[in-house]
Amino acid sequence: MKTSATLERYYVLPCCLLLLNLCNEVVAYKGRLIHDAFLRTLFIMAMVLVGSSLVAFAIAPGLIWIVQSMRKTSRSTAGGLGEAFFLIALGVLIFWLYYRNYLIGTQSILPATWRNV
């Protein structure tokens, strides 16, 4: 139980906050399409509130549930290896998204249909 709380506090939740920051970058990028400053501000505030609620109430608990279910269902060392692989893959994915976002631009992490024209 202690390992689970430590894992949640020091790895999964910071990863979720990093994902939230990426979502905020996407919202700010898409907000540039709105030319009225008042409406743009309302749009950005609303989307950040929705995104933070989604991260807090869906993504973070979902990731924690995945990690805990890997730990519960396995009785061998392969389960621990799978959990470690999942957490490392999560960190690598977030690093890769940040790398592309800050060096190439926000449009590089979006599907082609979502890009500003």
Q: What are 95's two structure tokens?
A: 């690093």
Distance from C-alpha of 112 to C-alpha of 102, rounded to nearest angstrom: 18
User: At 107, is the pLDDT very low, low, confident or very high (cuts 50, 70, 90)?
Assistant: very high
Task: Domain ranges for the chain, please list them.
Answer: 2-110
Distance from C-alpha of 107 to C-alpha of 112, rounded to nearest angstrom: 8
Identify the pLDDT of residue 36: 95
More confident residue, 12 or 39: 39
Determine the distance from the C-alpha atom of residue 84 to the mean position of all C-alpha atoms in its chain, rounded to a whole number.
18
pTM of the model: 0.79
